[in-house]
Amino acid sequence: MSAAPVHLAGERLMLDPEGGLFWPARRVLAVADLHLEKGSAAAVRGSLLPPWDTRATLDRLAGLLRRYRPERVVALGDSFHDDRGAQRLLAADQARLAAMTASFRFVWVRGNHDPSPPEGVGGESCAEFRLDGLCFRHEAKPGPALGELCGHHHPKAAIPTGGTVVSRPCFVFDHRRLMLPALGAYTGGLDIRDHAIASLFPRGGRVFLLGRQRLFSFAFAASRPAPAPA
Amino acid sequence: MFPAVKLPDGFVNWLAHRGWALRPHQARVLAAAGQGRNVLLIAPTGGGKTLAGFLPSLVELQARGRGGLHTLYVSPLKALAADIARNLVAPVSEIGLDIAIETRTGDTSAERRRRQREAPPDILLTTPESLAVLVAGADAPSMFAGLRRVVIDEVHALAGTKRGDQLALCLARLSVLAPDSRRIGLSATIAHRDAIAAYVAPDARPDGVALVEATGGAAPEIGMILPDGRLPWAGHMGLFSAPDILARIRDARTTIVFVNTRAQAELLFQELWKLNTDTLPIAIHHGSLEMEQRLRVEAAMAEGKLRAVVATSSLDLGIDWGGVDQVLQVGAPKGVSRLLQRVGRANHRMDEPSRAILVPANRFEVLECEAAILGVAANELDGDPPRPGGLDVLAQHLLGLACSAPFLPDDVFAEIRRAAPYAALTRRDFDDVLGFVENGGYALAAYDRYRKLFRDSEGRVHVMNERVARQHRMNIGTIVEEPLLKVRYRGGALLGEVEEYFANMLTPGDTFMFAGRLLRFLRLRETVLEVADGGTGEPKVPAYAGGRMPLTTNLADRVRRMLSDPGTWGAFPEPVREWLALQRGVSRLPGPHDLLVETFPRGDRFYLVAYCFEGRNAHQTLGMLLTRRMERAGFQPLGFVATDYVLGIWSARPPHDIAALFDQDMLGDDLEAWMAESSMLRRTFRNVAVISGLIERQHPGAEKTRRQVLVNSDLIYDVLRRHQPDHILLRATRADAAGGLTDVARIALMLARAKGRVRHMALSRVSPLAVPVLLEIGRESVRNGEGDDALLAEAEAALVAEATGEADPPPFIQTDRPKPARDRRQGRLLV
């Protein structure tokens, strides 16, 4: 696994092929959109999905913690799929998460799926988190923002290659703003060409697609307005 | 065989009035049914099958009079049910019978459905899906208590499919609700008649079923046309034959031009219209066109307003158009049974021969067409026997049974084993499927409070609540729509659907061919491609997954035998004979029992071409396995390409030890790993997940809100595979894939046969027989999970080369495209 460095607001950040971000200077690990207990949220509605999504997501998180040994973990919101998610955690998952928050300083940035602080899992909760020149928030604030790290949109990119199209979750970056891919095991993606994402990167930038061993980097051009609606 | 039954006077008079007589097979069906037997009638199209199927019912109904549901007719096609209803009404009124005949399909209004439940007609015509809804109703026992006859049309097209599985399960239930009911199956001529008879039998045993076969019938006349002058080396579209095809259309009254893929239909249709200076009315028909459009074409065809329709398998089955007097098959016929089915669409009268003409698109297809003509003459029917019933369908059915009434698992297990597709169902699989429906069946007991079924103190299984039953009714059916995008004129009519990958490749202003039109892509809104007429530049053509049928084993064997025996070459046109003779001179011909493998250098690459003749799907699997093995041997394979006949692989280093490469142990080491990652298995899992009720079906209209709660089935697959690899749904997926992967069995047989008989020809350059497959390179793309990383790396490297001035800019992502569809499989979250 090799991480790729980028510079945002003068800070050097490492992008991890698993979808996390590490800030070596302050030993901060950032992850976005864990959507823990999305599986049980579906079960409540009658779709009995395999109940291991939380475990799978925590496995990924644990891998990142082992690799970077951060001082602080910032979860960029939508950490739980809904406000009752933390209460639905299975005992084993709950204990595992509690052990993580006991060993590392966890900051739960609140998201639209989890507007209230999670109960019984430790860590602190805030609407957004600032450190030095960087601001960690769930949803990007429209307009130019220097040093913003965000999640929310679950970006993915589709690359035409070899007669087909390969689509993967990705980081989106333009030297001012960095959007992280979703880390949750059951989280889907939104194409970066979607207006919701493209409008946040009006001058274009780079995408970093997640791969098995490394990231794959591509430039994307500035967005032009779509043809006028009918 | 059966004592003759005297037809009531009213029927005799009606026949006499029409100038008809009862055909022998119709009389035998009537006799066998009169004895209380279950019957399988095998007859070609135009054999008066439908009347034969209904005669016993009509005779009994004349005696009985009105009095609730007597006969249930099930057809795979809604249109067929409606057509049969129309065709029955005439004789019924002419004979003077007082019989209520109604249809019930997805199109039937809610009001009418309610009325049908309260006061069922004497004869109800329906589809497997609508029957499943009836069987899941709480009033099923009273509705079906008086049922006497079930007529199953086109059994051959249902047995072995998931729709057929669902129907078989419903029939087993009907036999419990109405033990006195009897079945009549109607089938086209088929290879595996015992399996079809077992399907019709109420106890899954073929020997109890009275088999009636319509004999006689004129043999079809099948010819071949070759283009003037040249005979292409490769390609499958057959566009160069368009002038000949148009000439044939002009000479006949009504023609169906069958092709093999939807893309081919679009291309050939355009090509024909370029030449159609007489503006003959020629239409197009395929499965991705909007239903309205298809119905319009079918209606125009029925009224005799069309001279030709270019069609895919969407017209293989369907209502009888008396006027069709010619069938053309453009491109490889793929199998004898399939060809016969298509040929039978012409001239629906048994005593006159059907006329058909084959139009091969390349040299290998000339061989295949000749083999198919010989196969038809020898009546050598082919096709795979029906595979065992899907466990996902069983899951859906068990929930439906519980919704209808509480049941004892032991009773239901016995009932289900009487359905032929499930005759070999193990108790373990049954219990696991029931466990899945109950609470997910996960090793982690996480979902007890969300269970869908509960058991009472006597062990009876009940549905948990009305909400579960309601959800189930929304999910009934075994047809899973691909995640497709609609194509619509801006502010106008819907034209049909394309796959998402295709939309991803379009830029505004691009031209593409669809629905027989040249369309300009304007933009994508949500899940709709907005288009306008016209456009310039080279048009793109949408392709669809799973659109291509592989060559059958029988036909492949015939082709192989003809190749190896120059004595048979007289039937081939001159260019083909020259081509084969040249091959014999510079290399050798593939023998009937050996495996010819050629290797040769070309440019800075080394090519390996294996003449396996096992069909494209099998060759793709083999290509995947062989490249892995060549990788380990250090040959640095770079890619491969598969046709129905041949596999070609190219590598950076010359391969050696060829015989060892094809060793049988290949199937052991890598197959499992590759299979689990393959997109085919993921697609299969998605279908299993929807049919079994694990993930909700998408309903049109409700998509926008629903999308927010759906979870991508690929993600579920990954999680489940890791944490409970033996979960019943994964077992169901592997079983389905193995059924679709008869190609793995074909590879196994081929490797066993080739053992000690690999004929390796080390050549200095490409052989004549290898040219066609090399021409396919670049037209075919092969992908699997792992290969995607390599493809991304390639795309990335190409961009680096461009940046450093080493290459021309290749196309890459542009953000000025309108927004693409959100991945519907993926289900966007609430954001």
Total count of domains within chain B: 5
Of the ranges A5-14, A61-70, B294-303, B499-508, which one carries the lowest mean pLDDT score?
B499-508
pLDDT of residue B669: 61
Which residue's entry shows tokens 């249930």? B72
Using a CB-CB cut-off of 8 Å, the residues of chain B touching A166 are 788, 791-792, 795
pLDDT of residue B306: 94
Nearest to B107 by CA among B127, B88, B122: B127
Structure token pair of residue B409: 């698992």
pLDDT of residue B684: 86
How many Å lie between the alpha carbon of B302 and the closest alpha carbon of chain A? 38
Mean pLDDT to the nearest integer, B182-209:
94
B769-811 per-position pLDDT tens digit: 999 888 877 655 444 444 577 777 777 877 766 665 554 433 3
B133-143 per-position pLDDT tens digit: 999 999 999 99
Q: Is residue B575 in a domain?
A: no
Q: Are both B647 and B773 inside the same structural domain?
A: yes
Structure token pair of residue B154: 């086109």
As a whole-number percent, the residues of chain B with pLDDT over 90 amount to: 46
Instruction: Give burial (CB, 10 Å; 0-12/13-18/19+) of A94.
Output: middle
pLDDT of residue B216: 65
CA distances from B290 to B282, B486, B825 (A): 18, 9, 21
B789 and A213 in contact by Cβ < 8 A? Answer: yes
Q: Are both B633 and B693 inside the same structural domain?
A: yes
As a whole-number percent, the residues of chain B with pLDDT over 70 amount to: 88
Of the ranges A114-118, B566-570, B785-789, which one carries the lowest mean pLDDT score?
B785-789
Q: Are both B206 and B58 inside the same structural domain?
A: yes
Using a CB-CB cut-off of 8 Å, the residues of chain A touching B780 are 163
| Arithmetic mean of pLDDT over chain B | 85
Contact at 8 Å (CB) between A89 and A37? yes
A22-40 per-position pLDDT tens digit: 999 999 999 999 999 999 9
A194 and B820 in contact by Cβ < 8 A? Answer: yes
Structure token pair of residue A222: 């500035």
Q: Are both B804 and B747 inside the same structural domain?
A: no
pLDDT of residue B171: 98
Residue of B nearest to A49 (CA): B694
Q: Is residue B561 in a domain?
A: no
Q: Is residue B568 in a domain?
A: no
Q: Are both B325 and B395 inside the same structural domain?
A: no
Using a CB-CB cut-off of 8 Å, the residues of chain B touching A60 are none
Q: Are both B308 and B402 inside the same structural domain?
A: no
Q: Are both B183 and B280 inside the same structural domain?
A: no
Q: Are both B458 and B600 inside the same structural domain?
A: no
Residue of B nearest to A166 (CA): B788
A42 and B709 in contact by Cβ < 8 A? Answer: yes
pLDDT for residue B211 is more than 70:
yes
| pLDDT confidence band for A228 (50 / 70 / 90) | very low
How many Å lie between the alpha carbon of A1 and the closest alpha carbon of chain B? 14
- Strands in B484-489's sheet, in edge-to-edge order, are B494-499, B484-489, B528-533, B517-525, B511-514
Of the ranges A215-219, B5-9, B360-364, B454-458, which one carries the lowest mean pLDDT score?
B5-9
DSSP lists the bridge partners of residue B455 as B461
pLDDT of residue B535: 75
How many Å lie between the alpha carbon of A21 and the closest alpha carbon of chain B? 21
pLDDT of residue B506: 77
Residue of B nearest to A206 (CA): B813
Residue A218, number of CB atoms within 10 A of its CB: 17
Mean pLDDT to the nearest integer, A149-164:
84
B389-401 per-position pLDDT tens digit: 999 999 999 999 9
Residue B396, domain extent: 391-464
pLDDT of residue B480: 79
Which stretch, A157-161, B511-515, B788-792, has highest mean pLDDT? B511-515
Q: Is residue B384 in a domain?
A: no
Query: Where is pLDDT greater, at A222 or B116?
Result: B116
pLDDT of residue B546: 59
pLDDT of residue B26: 92
Q: Are both B38 and B161 inside the same structural domain?
A: yes
pLDDT of residue A149: 97
Mean pLDDT to the nearest integer, A140-163:
87
Contact at 8 Å (CB) between B175 and B207? no
Q: Are both B372 and B401 inside the same structural domain?
A: no
Nearest to B64 by CA among B156, B120, B148, B154: B148
pLDDT for residue B708 is more than 50:
no
pLDDT of residue A221: 77
How many Å lie between the alpha carbon of A208 and the closest alpha carbon of chain B? 11
Residue of A nearest to B444 (CA): A51
Q: Is residue B578 in a domain?
A: no
B584-632 per-position pLDDT tens digit: 999 999 998 899 999 999 888 899 999 998 888 788 888 888 888 888 8
| Arithmetic mean of pLDDT over chain A | 91
Sequence-distant (6+) residues with CB within 8 A of A215 are A3, A4, A15, A17, A171, A208, A209
Tell me the CATH number at B254.
3.40.50.300
How many Å lie between the alpha carbon of B638 and the closest alpha carbon of chain A? 12
| pLDDT confidence band for B741 (50 / 70 / 90) | low
pLDDT for residue B500 is more than 80:
no
B523 and A194 in contact by Cβ < 8 A? Answer: no
Using a CB-CB cut-off of 8 Å, the residues of chain B touching A200 are none
pLDDT for residue B699 is more than 70:
no
pLDDT of residue B75: 92
As for the ipTM of the complex, it is 0.90
Please tell me the number of Cα atoms within 13 Å of B479 on its side-chain side: 11
Every domain of chain A and the residues it spans:
4-220
pLDDT for residue B436 is more than 70:
yes
| pLDDT confidence band for B705 (50 / 70 / 90) | very low
Long-range contacts of B315-320 (CB under 8 A, 24+ apart): B315/B256, B315/B258, B315/B285, B315/B345, B316/B341, B316/B342, B316/B345, B317/B76, B317/B77, B317/B80, B317/B154, B317/B157, B318/B77, B318/B79, B318/B80, B319/B77, B319/B79, B319/B80, B319/B83, B320/B45, B320/B46, B320/B83, B320/B348
Mean pLDDT to the nearest integer, B446-468:
92
- Residue after which a domain boundary falls, among B785, B802, B820: B785
Q: Are both B194 and B245 inside the same structural domain?
A: no
Mean pLDDT to the nearest integer, B473-488:
83
Q: Are both B128 and B29 inside the same structural domain?
A: yes
Query: Where is pLDDT greater, at B508 or B556?
Result: B556
- Smallest Cβ distance to B831: which of A49, A152, A162? A152
Sequence-distant (6+) residues with CB within 8 A of B678 are B624, B784, B785
- Interface A:B, Cβ pairs < 8 A: 201
pTM of the model: 0.85
Contact at 8 Å (CB) between B371 and B562? yes
A196 and B814 in contact by Cβ < 8 A? Answer: no
| pLDDT confidence band for A46 (50 / 70 / 90) | confident
pLDDT of residue B813: 33
| pLDDT confidence band for B274 (50 / 70 / 90) | very high
Which residue's entry shows tokens 């001159």? B574
Please tell me the number of Cα atoms within 13 Å of B334 on its side-chain side: 22
Q: Is residue B4 in a domain?
A: no
Q: Is residue B353 in a domain?
A: yes
Using a CB-CB cut-off of 8 Å, the residues of chain B touching A78 are 829
- Residue after which a domain boundary falls, among B213, B243, B272: B213
Residue B247, number of CB atoms within 10 A of its CB: 11
pLDDT for residue A225 is more than 80:
no
pLDDT of residue A93: 95
pLDDT of residue B593: 86
Amino acid type, B244: D
How many Å lie between the alpha carbon of B523 and the closest alpha carbon of chain A? 7
CATH number for region A4-220: 3.60.21
